Chains A and B, each alone.
Chain A
Amino acid sequence: MRDVYIIGAGMTKFGRAGDWTLIDVLEYAAAQALKDADLKDDIESVFVANMGAGLLNHLSGVGSAMVDRLCLWPATAETVENGPASGGSAVKVGTMAVGSGAVDTALVIGGEVMRSVTGWEATDFVATLSHPEAEYIYGVTLPSLAGMFARLYMDKYGITPEHLAMVAIKNHQNAMKNPNAHIQQTVSMEGLLHRPEAVVNNPYVAEPLRMFDCCPVSDGAAAVILCTKEIAEKSGKPMVRVAGFGQATDTHAVHERKDPTELTAVRLAAERAFGMAGRKPADVDVAELHDAFTILEIAESEEAGFFDKGTGHIALENGETRPDGRLPINVSGGLKARGHPVGATGVAQVVEIAWQLAGKAGERQLDDPRVGFTCNFGGFGNNVLCFVFEREG
């Protein structure tokens, strides 16, 4: 496969689209990425990641619509739907398109407008990714799956509510430096857990998970431009290479897994990504993990190989995952505070890493990171994509 590079990235602020349609938010992110790459007419293919346009926005053929909105005809167009991992899948497909030699440039956009419906409807919409006969019909939602997972994980490894709150506190703090974050509000251990007021401030959503253990429902979009080495070199921009990617699946129904506390698809996807990149977890300088629920950041940090199983919460406690720690995780604020427009998330993770590696992350820029990692967690861990990115030169 040919080497593939990122030469442009852009995103909207996550939060509420207001009177903007899905096409509007996708266009905004794409325009930012095209501007960043100084490209337009050269885009040969467009991949749009989206999960809910049909259900939430009464739209189909979003890929084709975007080519038209951006006047990129006759570029090829595809819509990629893979639940909350749609963004990661679209980046993978775009990478394969450029890497295979089929095209030299690809625009990958991910976006969602979810706040066009009520919170209840949005929760139900996301729950449609669960097993229809074994889970959904019994009222399973993603918070309920995460709640059960958290209970098992906490019992097995001695994780406390304070550890979960530490993830929220860190990621909310990180988001204060991200102007694109949905939630820019710091939170405190006292207010979340230790005061009597916590019963109102931070009520249970799916015990043991509380409100601040869950990501918000967000609108927004993110985009990257992928290209060949020749085009990247010619652009004179920082050389950020897609060094490796990996994907793995697991049983659809969570109860069918041998051990529900094992996120096997995360482990396999990460191993494949590191294998392709010729890297190991210890090489990573910055990671964006899929913290739709606080427990997932801890569990994924272990399954990806950054920490031994059952010790992610200790690393968190020791500050290793803070921006000034050994492995900064979710410097963007993560899904927890940057937000989680489901189709956009996998692309937004890549945007954050591309910006970090290119030195374009503004106030939250880390000190010269060279290797970045993303984990986009689909379903409840039944379809996961991981990427390793490297800065060359």
Chain B
Amino acid sequence: MAQLEEILRPPEKDLPPYPAKCIVLASGEKMVIRQARRDEVPILLPDVAALTKVERDYYDIVAARAYAELLGWLRYRVRDEYCLVGLIDGVLCGLVNGRSLSAKVGVSFHTIAMRRGLRVGAHLFAAKMEYHIEHLNQQEVYIVAESPIGFRRWMIEYGLEKRPQVHHELGGVMSWSLTRDLYFESRDRLVVGERPVPQDLVEKAKTILPVPEDQLIKQVTGRIRQAES
């Protein structure tokens, strides 16, 4: 069994750490973005699973696929994956993940904002690109969009280049690339945050506090219905 597991499990490589940073949101709340550890994945999964029930804005597709990716990372079935989490006072407000394809190329997987209207997703995606380009020192990141929001945020805001010849791991849709040049052209207007993170926030961000399902659904939907008339 151990021998078989050795075959099934991809070789392990320690990726350089993502140094945590702190971002003051429009609300004035301070969001810490830090790297999640593999052993923290079980804390993330219930919230991601809850979002598979939300059809709006393609949360269901994004959450279902992110769930599989995170589970694959937890159970040693995806190579060189990482996950960054956004935390406000320790409470999970979003996550992004991806993996290192080679020394030169990164692959962006998914971005999930669990708080809406504060550009949490935009900040987390920027942190992901920062990780690939500045910390993994890669030349480019392959990206696809599964929602109109994603397309508007990534392909248009970053002015990504098309990579029709690239088969992205998420499927057969058009692949795009964030090159180093594009990243540094956009860096000043899209990548922000303060380092080092103040100690009190570091302490609060040590533990990931998941969001209760009812609250999470309310946070990402906000339906008109209050009560049946």
Listed in ascending order, the chain A residues whose CB lies under 8 Å from chain B are: 12-18, 20, 25, 27-28, 31-32, 35, 118, 179-180, 182-183, 185-188, 190-192, 195-203, 212, 219-220
Contact = CB atoms under 8 A, between A and B. Distances in A.
A187 B29 CA distance: 9
Nearest to B228: A28
The 3 closest A-B pairs by CB, nearest first: A188-B28, A191-B26, A31-B229
20 contacts: A12-B224, A12-B225, A13-B225, A16-B56, A16-B222, A16-B223, A18-B221, A18-B224, A27-B229, A185-B118, A186-B27, A186-B28, A188-B28, A191-B27, A197-B193, A200-B119, A201-B26, A201-B119, A219-B224, A220-B224
Nearest to B188: A199
B9 to A, nearest CB: 38
Contacts, number: 89
Contacts of A16: 56, 221-224
Given A197-B192, A199-B189, A190 B225 contact: no
A18 B56 contact: yes
B24 interface: yes
B117 interface: yes
B27 A197 contact: no
Contacts of A25: 224
A221 to B, nearest CB: 9
Best-buried of A14, A179, A201, A202 by chain B (most CB within 10 Å): A201
Given A18-B56, A191-B24, A212-B26, A200 B123 contact: yes
A183 B24 contact: no
A183 B117 contact: yes
Given A191-B26, A201-B24, 20 more contacts: A16-B221, A16-B222, A16-B223, A17-B223, A18-B223, A25-B224, A27-B229, A31-B229, A179-B226, A183-B117, A186-B28, A190-B24, A191-B29, A197-B23, A197-B24, A197-B192, A199-B190, A200-B189, A200-B192, A201-B25
A187 B56 CA distance: 25
A197 B25 contact: yes
Contact of A200 (B29, B122, B221, B223): B122
Tell me what chain B mostly uses at the interface: helix, strand, loop, or mixed.
loop
B126 interface: yes
Looking at B119, B123, B193, B224, the one whose CB has the most chain A CB atoms below 10 A away is B224
Nearest to B31: A197
B196 interface: no
Contact of B229 (A15, A28, A196, A199): A28
Contacts of A192: 26
A164 B74 CA distance: 47
A18 B225 contact: yes
Nearest to A220: B224
Contact of A17 (B117, B189, B224, B226): B224
Interface in B209-223: 221-223
A174 to B, nearest CB: 15
